[in-house]
Structure 1
Amino acid sequence: MKGITAISVQIWILTVFTLIANVALAGDPAKLTGKVTDKKTGEALIGVTIVVQGTGKGAVTDVEGRYSMIVEPGTYTINFKYIGYQTKSVSEVAVKPTAPTQLNIIMDEPKSEELREVVIRGSFKQETINALYAAQKNSAVVSDGISADLIKKSPDKNTGEVLKRVSGTSIQDNKFVVVRGLGDRYNTTLMNSSVLPSTEPDKKAFAFDIIPANLIDNITIYKTASPDLPGDFSGGAIKVSTKDFPDQQFLELTLGTGYNTQTTFKDFYSGPPKGKFDFIGFDDGSRKLPAAYSNVKNNYTNLETSQKIAISKNFSNTYGETKDGQALPPLSVQLSMGNSWTLKNNRRFGYIFAVNYGNSQTLRFKQRDAYLNTKEHTYSYHDEIYGKNRNLGSVLNLAYTYGKSKLSWKNFYNNDFNVNFTRRNGFQYDGTNLTTGVYSLNNETTQNGLFNSVLEGQHRLKSEKLRIDWNAAYGRSYRNQPDQRILAFFQRNPDQPFFLHLSNENSPAVNSAGRVFSNLKENIFSGNLNFTMPFKLLGESQQFKFGGGKVYRDRDFSVVALGYASNANGGSGINIDLDKDVNPGNIFSNANLDKYSIFLARIDMNTKDYEGIGDLSTGYLMLDNRLTNNIRLVWGARIENYHQQLKAVNQKTQDYNNTDVLPSANLTIGLSEQTNLRASFSKSVNRAEFRELASFRYYDYENEFIISGNPDLQRSINSNADLKFEFFPGAGEVLSASLFYKKFKNPIEQVNKGNDVLSFSNADAATDFGGEIELRKNLGFISQHPVFQGLTFYTNAALIHSSVDLQGVNKKTPLQGQSPYLVNGGLTYASSNNGFSMNLLYNRIGQRLRFRGEQEGLDTYEKPRDVVDFQISKKLFGNAGELKLSIADIFAQPVALYYKYPGSDKTAYNAGNDKVINAMKPGTTFSVSFRYNFMHHSSK
């Protein structure tokens, strides 16, 4: 309660403060802004003088090469002057009061001293194109990304949906990123240059669906390593940057709602209880483990039966179900605001603040089946899953530049609250003509949260011979699952009632009649310090970069698993029939606990608390060499020492300590002004997560799996090689093709041990290789008609092959999470004034291995599905407002997992031989949103 109040107070104080700031410090909207960079290196140029010809007005670029100035509306010629560079004069720069005019400039050193006084002249349009080319060409590594502008033109609501548009990237479970066919464990995530903790308790993964898409400035996926990037990735390092200085003052309110064909206005059910703060996404404590049990939990097993029954009466009798009317349309609200000011002596201050709230309901129908390796059917379940989701998030970013320095403080918070109620009906088969009916209920509440705060600094000495940048960050993630309640009834034949079977306290089963309480908290402290020293060699600009960092993680995880048991019938257990007097809502009433001698028993195999520590120390040396005018080599090595420790009650402390030297080299050859050829090599590492090393078991009700850790896991050492060709035919256009190869030693895989028990194991080795292509092309070459001028076609695709060696045998099956192919495509239209746009998007992934089976025929794959989305948007009220209409997942094909049996096609699902074990249809979602900027200035 105190935490909720504190968060609410902070949000309101910040809201009031920023509203007052907006009103009191409102600025003139007629602005000219941009960034000035070096043509060869892409480095920001500091101290460039910008003069608006004929006005006497001017500015100087800051530590990031950025400038901003207020001018009267009109069309101007702008001059850019910098010592040692050719002066550049840009004409036809139209500055309007409706929105800032952005003019990014690249400047070039002259070939000889005599040319220093030559003035290079160009138009606004041409300089904008040149700047875009330079940004695309000057990346030191193989990377792909997506900008805020492209995000706006898609129907994507969160970062997980955005990432599936990036070349070579797909999304698993709507939130986990897969890069080049490599699952989430081979990727690392950074937000504003700081490493983020895992959001999942059971694996190394970051749930990208918690980051709202409209708060993102850009996303870059680094596909090859450099010494200044974390060494723990082989797929991609995903860097998410939230917005910094706004170009203009804004105060925006966005409202959204929608309709899902499978959920909205359908009958909706839930299970008790409902917390007082569920509507804002926080648990009120009513679901927590009772103090009567907590006070004696270490000695609970030794208590008398009567004492256990008395303690069990303190647990709320919250089984059963209630009808909640019909599912309502979703609601989303976001308030965002920001401004920036140019102060005396070219100092600049800016901020961005946003708070968002979402409320939605989902109804999913899932079919869950299981088979033996002989294809014998063991069970068939049909699940109705009713979900309520509440999301509350905020961003506060402050930035200040002065002289040749910049300081910024970036904060991100998100809280995701889900309450799921599942009703299951089905049958279990025993290999004979006998079947057992199954009826069960599951109530599950999950609260996930993430807070990330980063303080960053950039400093350039006056001599420009040393550049320093640093950051210090704190992150906290949490996952609270209070009182998951599972209750299963069985029926021997159709003319008999369903019954609940309770065994004695020596063998209670959490998946029959159980309650699970789990809580995960993780803190991550990190800091990095980098030094860059420019120098000249062979007449070319060079850089020597070195630095180091520290990442310290501490995790506290606790889980209590309890199963109902009975000492009736001399301790042999009891069957309790459902009838007119006994139902799921009262079966554990106080009267029935006494009548049937029922009490909660501790399940030690599933109850395990542990504390984890991860201590990473890093250092690196890197050279960025221009060997000739068109050849660039970025090379060096990174050293990482990682100490990991797990402490669990009554178990030996698990200690892991490794030091790895990770070299890398990235070679870029500029074949022309528009083309690059890139080659790279690197070594990287992949380490086991805390949960993968912890040996306790966890029951996953929805997917009917038991998940167990393995304390004997080793880290994986990986070698990576890439070759990429890039061609930039026009502004915002690209044609690229790449090849990659990866070799893994001791890769970590999740394995089905049989009986649906999933654990983690090291394979001996694995290889992963493939190719990617990307095309983005404006269709204006077809015709000069405005429609074709506004149309852009884009596509990216990847073909990937991998194989894994297990126990000395090549299994000829892919790495876990790897797809043999993936395709993204789209056609987008934007009018000449950007007042109207449309976007049609397509995504498909090939079958991918979800879980590896130790037994032949137990490999589990995910079927391919075609995802088509469409969005249309229109600016209104003089561009102050924007209306968006979106249709997501038009085909709504089922998400399905299946067992692949010997003899079937290795690359596709075979209906006659393979068996679907898990299928769920998501439905199509129609969304509408309206955004209005209250600070927008019309042109009137």
Structure 2
Amino acid sequence: MKYSTLILILLAMSSTLLMANVAEAQKMSEVNIHINARQQTIGAILDEIETKTPFSFVYMLGEIKEHRKVDLQFDGSLLDALQMLSRHTATRYQQTGNNIVVTYVPVQQPGRLSGKILDSKGEPLPGASLKVLELKESVSNAVDGSYQISLPAGTYTVEVNYIGFQTVRITDVKILSDKNTPLNIALKENAQSLNTVTITSSYRKASVEGLYARQKNAATVTDGISAEQISATPDKHIGETLKRIAGLSTTENRNVVVRGAAERYNVAQLDGIMLPSTDVQSRNFDFTLIPSNLVESIIVNKSATPDMTAGFGGGLIQVNTISIPTEDFLSFSAGSSFNSRTVGEDFYAYKRGKYDYLGFDDGSRNHFPAGLKDVSSFNPIYPNPANTTAEEVADQNRRIGGTERLGSRIFRGMPSQNYQLSIGQSYELSTKKAQKIGFVGSMSYRNTQNIDEIATIRRGTWQINATPDDPDNVNKGNLYNFNTTLGAL
């Protein structure tokens, strides 16, 4: 009982002292101070204030940028001095008794809104005006229809107008700090009315109207996908994106099939340049080599016009890449795949070079002797003086290298693997951000190993005097594929 009474008395005394301390604490506006700091860190300025005033500062060392130096010349109240320091250093000050708590508030970088202003035919409208209603800021687009404006983070309503076209008002345009928001806008002609007509649209709807305008006025049957639509998917490369276009399917997310037409009936272009085949045995292109974050749009022509190449019967896939990135980026992706038929199983192949996994030949396959004979007519069933003898064939094989060099080896099947690195960078050439220079690039690596089962194998056109369906007469086998692909864009 005595201890409880003593504790209550001590608590009451400490509470009284604390209230007295708070009551006696001076306000920052009541304390005057003279500061003449030149190229001093924030910590050094706060230490000087502590020596000249009854206040102590409380802050975390990691939050105060000690390495930054500022100038502060002031003669007046401490409150005004700290407010001036706050404007120059993004720090905030709050008084608690005789202590001042210091917090660091990072300055938000502005975001960007960029895109193109087009007409209903997909042609640029140079000189069109884009206005942000909340900020009453406006900008005109360039000759190619492109525009860019820096805005603080937030949600805005954008209004676009051009002489002879209907004014478009787009709501819910979200700008993120230090991020770019793409927005392509298509305007409709206003030939029947002399008064201003305003059409209100949402951000998501307006951002793809530029692509739809080109499709609607195209002379061929086309379909496509825009960068804004691609950004809403988890696709790493356009091999995964193409199957999202109507009428297209892919094989293993690599080669494209247009309306049932196989890969060899289709043609791919990158920025108007024909893409070569990535397969030595058939005409097709591996679309996993092109990362999706470098693509502005993909247009698929399902019918031909006289101005197009005549090399396709299924479809023409036109991949358009971004010219200058609107925001810097660096991305790296890695992937792997395996199947039970290949991984861990015996994998038969010729002797591999030291750099086969890197896609280069080490030169071991180029050592062939001179004077080799054509033994394609060799037939062991009908020996005659005109035929090459078996001894000559065996001797030539030994000269080439025999089984030590050309014989099969047994390897262990490994999982397929792929890696991709993409980078984009832009540099401002003027403080007004009217001119810029930039680049985008990508490097990719892919190694695939697979075993295809062959139900029946027969050598040449030779006939057999036996029952073909007899299991003892059926020759089964496997086809072993080892492929390394390197790509750069």
2:148 alignment counterpart: 68
CA deviations on 1:868-887 (whole Å, 9 max, x unpaired) are xxxxxxxxxxxxxxxxxxxx
Q: What amino acid maps onto 1:187 in structure 2?
A: N
Rate the CA distance shift 1:156–1:101 in 2: closer, same or farther, 3 A.
closer
Give the TM-score normalised by the residue count of structure 1. 0.33
Asked whether the equivalents of residues 264 and 284 of structure 2 are also in contact (C-alpha less than 8 Å), the reply is: no
2:468 alignment counterpart: 377
Pair 1:356 & 2:437 matched: no
Question: In structure 1, what is the Cα distance between the partners aligned to 2:397 and 2:457?
Answer: 37
1:768 alignment counterpart: none
Rate the CA distance shift 1:86–1:319 in 2: closer, same or farther, 3 A.
closer
Question: In structure 2, what is the Cα distance between the partners aligned to 1:320 and 1:311?
Answer: 11
Pair 1:35 & 2:123 matched: no
1:241 alignment counterpart: 320
Asked whether the equivalents of residues 109 and 152 of structure 2 are also in contact (C-alpha less than 8 Å), the reply is: no
Structure 1 residue corresponding to 2:340, chosen from 243, 253, 261: 261
2:223 alignment counterpart: 144
State the 1:224 CA deviation: 1.8
State the 1:312 CA deviation: 4.7
Give the TM-score normalised by the residue count of structure 2. 0.60
1:678-697 matches, within 5 Å, as none
Q: What amino acid maps onto 1:145 in structure 2?
A: G
Rate the CA distance shift 1:341–1:56 in 2: closer, same or farther, 3 A.
farther
Structure 2 residue corresponding to 1:336, chosen from 400, 422, 435: 422
2:17 alignment counterpart: none
Aligned residues: 358
Which structure is richer in relative contact order (CA contacts within 8 A, separation 6 or more)?
1
SS of 1:346's equivalent in the other structure is coil
Rg comparison, structure with higher value: 2
Question: In structure 2, what is the Cα distance between the partners aligned to 1:29 and 1:332?
Answer: 36
1:796 alignment counterpart: none
2:194 alignment counterpart: 114
2:365 alignment counterpart: 287
Q: What amino acid maps onto 1:261 in structure 2?
A: S
Asked whether the equivalents of residues 219 and 240 of structure 1 are also in contact (C-alpha less than 8 Å), the reply is: yes
Pair 1:393 & 2:487 matched: yes
SS of 1:288's equivalent in the other structure is coil
Rate the CA distance shift 1:257–1:148 in 2: closer, same or farther, 3 A.
farther
CA deviations on 1:797-840 (whole Å, 9 max, x unpaired) are xxxxxxxxxxxxxxxxxxxxxxxxxxxxxxxxxxxxxxxxxxxx
Rate the CA distance shift 1:175–1:277 in 2: closer, same or farther, 3 A.
same
State the 1:141 CA deviation: 1.7
1:102 alignment counterpart: 182
Rate the CA distance shift 1:98–1:364 in 2: closer, same or farther, 3 A.
farther
Asked whether the equivalents of residues 446 and 484 of structure 2 are also in contact (C-alpha less than 8 Å), the reply is: yes
1:128-527 matches, within 5 Å, as 128=207, 134=213, 136-147=215-226, 162-170=241-249, 177-199=256-278, 205-208=283-286, 211-212=289-290, 214=292, 216-264=295-343, 266-290=344-368, 292-293=369-370, 296=371, 309=395, 312-315=398-401, 317-325=404-412, 327-341=413-427, 343-344=429-430, 346-368=434-456, 377=468, 380-395=474-489
CA deviations on 1:530-562 (whole Å, 9 max, x unpaired) are xxxxxxxxxxxxxxxxxxxxxxxxxxxxxxxxx
1:16-95 matches, within 5 Å, as 30-39=111-120, 41-53=121-133, 55=135, 57-95=137-175
1:803-822 matches, within 5 Å, as none
State the 1:47 CA deviation: 2.6
CA deviations on 1:400-428 (whole Å, 9 max, x unpaired) are xxxxxxxxxxxxxxxxxxxxxxxxxxxxx
Question: In structure 2, what is the Cα distance between the partners aligned to 1:257 and 1:182?
Answer: 29
Rate the CA distance shift 1:132–1:360 in 2: closer, same or farther, 3 A.
closer
Greater fraction helix:
2
State the 1:227 CA deviation: 2.7
Asked whether the equivalents of residues 112 and 178 of structure 2 are also in contact (C-alpha less than 8 Å), the reply is: no
Rate the CA distance shift 1:74–1:385 in 2: closer, same or farther, 3 A.
same
Question: In structure 2, what is the Cα distance between the partners aligned to 1:83 and 1:245?
Answer: 29
Q: What amino acid maps onto 1:393 in structure 2?
A: G
**What stretches of structure 2 of length at least 5 have no aligned partner?**
1-107, 377-385
CA deviations on 1:156-184 (whole Å, 9 max, x unpaired) are 77656654554334557986544334445
SS of 1:229's equivalent in the other structure is coil
Question: In structure 2, what is the Cα distance between the partners aligned to 1:237 and 1:212?
Answer: 16
Rate the CA distance shift 1:163–1:98 in 2: closer, same or farther, 3 A.
same
Q: What amino acid maps onto 2:420 in structure 1?
A: Q
Question: In structure 2, what is the Cα distance between the partners aligned to 1:28 and 1:110?
Answer: 39
Rate the CA distance shift 1:279–1:96 in 2: closer, same or farther, 3 A.
same
SS of 1:313's equivalent in the other structure is helix
Asked whether the equivalents of residues 28 and 70 of structure 1 are also in contact (C-alpha less than 8 Å), the reply is: no
Asked whether the equivalents of residues 334 and 354 of structure 1 are also in contact (C-alpha less than 8 Å), the reply is: yes
SS of 2:341's equivalent in the other structure is coil
State the 1:97 CA deviation: 1.1
Question: In structure 2, what is the Cα distance between the partners aligned to 1:164 and 1:100?
Answer: 27
Rate the CA distance shift 1:145–1:56 in 2: closer, same or farther, 3 A.
closer
Question: In structure 1, what is the Cα distance between the partners aligned to 2:288 and 2:426?
Answer: 28
Asked whether the equivalents of residues 29 and 100 of structure 1 are also in contact (C-alpha less than 8 Å), the reply is: no
1:387-786 matches, within 5 Å, as 387-395=481-489
State the 1:286 CA deviation: 0.7
State the 1:300 CA deviation: 11
Asked whether the equivalents of residues 159 and 208 of structure 1 are also in contact (C-alpha less than 8 Å), the reply is: no
Question: In structure 1, what is the Cα distance between the partners aligned to 2:288 and 2:304?
Answer: 26
Q: What amino acid maps onto 2:335 in structure 1?
A: G
Asked whether the equivalents of residues 59 and 346 of structure 1 are also in contact (C-alpha less than 8 Å), the reply is: no
Question: In structure 2, what is the Cα distance between the partners aligned to 1:153 and 1:75?
Answer: 19
Provide the alpha-carbon RMSD of the alignment.
4.3
Question: In structure 1, what is the Cα distance between the partners aligned to 2:175 and 2:234?
Answer: 31
State the 1:43 CA deviation: 1.8
Question: In structure 1, what is the Cα distance between the partners aligned to 2:236 and 2:483?
Answer: 14
State the 1:38 CA deviation: 0.9
Q: What amino acid maps onto 2:347 in structure 1?
A: Y
State the 1:72 CA deviation: 1.6
CA deviations on 1:416-443 (whole Å, 9 max, x unpaired) are xxxxxxxxxxxxxxxxxxxxxxxxxxxx
Asked whether the equivalents of residues 122 and 211 of structure 2 are also in contact (C-alpha less than 8 Å), the reply is: no
Rate the CA distance shift 1:357–1:171 in 2: closer, same or farther, 3 A.
closer
Q: What amino acid maps onto 1:190 in structure 2?
A: Q
SS of 2:405's equivalent in the other structure is coil
Q: What amino acid maps onto 1:223 in structure 2?
A: K
